[in-house]
Amino acid sequence: MTQHVTDALPTDASSAASGRREWWRDAVIYQVYPRSFADGNGDGMGDLPGVRARLPYLKELGVDAVWLSPFYASPQADAGYDVADYRAVDPMFGNLTDADDLVRDAHGLGLRVIVDLVPNHCSDQHEWFKQALREGPGSPIRERFHFRPGKGESGELPPNDWESIFGGPAWTRVEDGEWYLHLFAPEQPDFNWDHPAVHDEFRSILRFWLDLGIDGFRIDVAHGLVKAAGLPDIGHDEQVKLLGTEAVPYFDQDGVHEIYRSWRRILDEYTGNETGPEGPSLEGRGRETGGRIAVAEAWTPTVERSALYLRPDELHQAFNFSYLTTGWNAADLREVIDRSLGAMNAVHAPATWVLSNHDVVRHSTRLAEGDEARGLRRARAATLLMLALPGSAYLYQGEELGLPEVVDLPDEVRQDPAFFRSAGQDGTRDGCRVPLPWSGEAAPFGFGPVEGGPSWLPQPASWKNLTVEAQEGDPTSTLEFYRSALAVRREHPALGAGRQVTWLPTPDGVLAFRRDSAEGSFVCTVNLTAAPVPFPTPGTLLLAGADVEPGTETTELPADSTVWWAV
């Protein structure tokens, strides 16, 4: 498989790109899952020193920012999404000095840093929760969580019928007879956002990390903080619509928006102060800063509901899960692209595009339909389509290597808490979290500093052909394909931020759209069928993820492929 890159870019593209404002409107943001990215000390677990050592790789890849999944002090009941101390780094990952060094090194390379924030729930080892248990019923600190008496003659039944996302009841009973709410694992009690102390605490946490120099927050379960008044029963049938067409009383309540308005005011205080009151300025990328940002992980029924989180006085971006969950179908993709752009334009926010993350099956496997070669071909095509759309794009670590989902992990090595519960999610998130292969012929493929050392999840032997070392410099590799795509996206003036695409006439199963700027125009063609399709040649070939021979008048678009053209 060959990819093509030409010099058809306008000569003034670099200056056009460098004049862009508000970096987040067209940023390519790379998700690092720290325990699986790089191991700095050889204990088999990725850590912050490991991430720091690999930052030059991310700069060369061509991304704008790094988003780090949680590295806070945690018992790790849910891979760090159960936070015991929001101002401390878990010793598994390093310490605060390591975090500070990482941020400074990233800024020196022109990379911004976004960290996860988990405000819906904490760990049952959080000091507040431990104090609430010690002090018992009637304690004021219990009001910072959702403690309730149970139903039934002796309170033996949960306070309501809510179900955990991980399966089973969303309530756990403690020794004194009261129950507490946890929408996820029992080790993750939900905060009560009706309590002012919770608001005060998280405003303080925001400032702590902003002062350290981070450039933004990815807000976990952003749609879940506020629950319906009175915590009413729902009914099982209603709860199974969680990601369907209807809202439920524990997600996407209107009260969350006032929380984010207060956070936005804090973020705006730091605009133009890229690394905190005492830190150095961000260097390297040549764009205006655009301030600090917040990104919502908000699973809402529609993109229009997601857009409500992005009104001008609220958050900056929201993940586009509607796009992620759309299949390999031309009509469906066109519809979700139009709806996404329309919804975001209505609130003057950028659209975002994402194909994989730490909670879903990698898209190279998801699109494969049982054929690994077809999956990689479609994954490359899907990536080029995503990077051609107006707005900001998110990459998940390892997709630039073409990594497939690891579907055959033995039960005894799995660590996803949902795997051990009888209902809820399938519990197979470990398959996308297997540590990255960097170099060598045998596991752990350079993940840690010790040859043949440990790895918290086992890597397939076949990954020896997918390491960074194996792909680097190979013009046919997925890694070099990503580097080329990100370079072209950065340089072409019609790519990146924008509000719309102009759809072009196409045969069934093909998408084509045009994007225009004062310095040049661009066309993206996508053949989503299993056979080559002839198409009028739109311009000069820029980049393709499959072999293509441009014709003077007509070009045969390869099956399952995307081609970029300069016009």
Which residues are within 8 A (CB) of 506 and not within 5 positions of it... i.e. 6 or more apart? 330, 512, 525, 535
Catalytic, 220? Answer yes
Task: List, in sequence order, every residue forming a beta bridge with 61; answer none if it has no partner.
Answer: none
Task: List, in sequence order, every residue forming a beta bridge with 181; answer none if it has no partner.
Answer: 171
> What does the block give as tokens for 545?
């993820």
Residue from 161, 211, 269, 469 carrying the catalytic annotation: 269
Residues 528, 534, 535, 539, CA torsion sign: positive
> What does the block give as tokens for 152?
């039934």
Query: CA 78 to CA 92: how far, in whole Å?
Result: 14
Angle at the Cα of 61 (from 58 to 63), degrees rounded to 5?
Answer: 70
Determine how many CB atoms are found less than 10 A away from the CB of residue 395. 24
115 neighbors 217 (Cβ within 8 angstroms) = yes
53 neighbors 40 (Cβ within 8 angstroms) = yes
Determine how many CB atoms are found less than 10 A away from the CB of residue 166. 23
**How does DSSP assign 194-219, residue by residue?**
TSHHHHHHHHHHHHHHHHHT--EEEE
Catalytic, 335? Answer no
27 neighbors 559 (Cβ within 8 angstroms) = no
Residue from 47, 220, 297, 399 carrying the catalytic annotation: 220
Task: Number of helices (H) and strands (E) in the chain: give both, helices first.
Answer: 16, 21
Nearest to 452 by CA among 33, 36, 44, 38: 44
Terminal CA-CA length for the chain: 25
Query: CA 243 to CA 247: how far, in whole Å?
Result: 8
Determine how many CB atoms are found less than 10 A away from the CB of residue 327. 10
Query: CA 101 to CA 95: how far, in whole Å?
Result: 10
Nearest to 273 by CA among 292, 260, 296, 287: 292
481 neighbors 454 (Cβ within 8 angstroms) = no
Identity (one letter) of the amino acid at 498? G
Determine how many CB atoms are found less than 10 A away from the CB of residue 281. 10
Query: CA 219 to CA 118: how far, in whole Å?
Result: 6
For helices 372-388 and 478-491, angle between their N-to-C axes, nearest 10 degrees: 10
Cis bond before residue 444 (omega within 30° of 0)? yes
DSSP label at 453?
A: -
Determine how many CB atoms are found less than 10 A away from the CB of residue 450. 13
Q: Known catalytic residues?
A: 220, 269
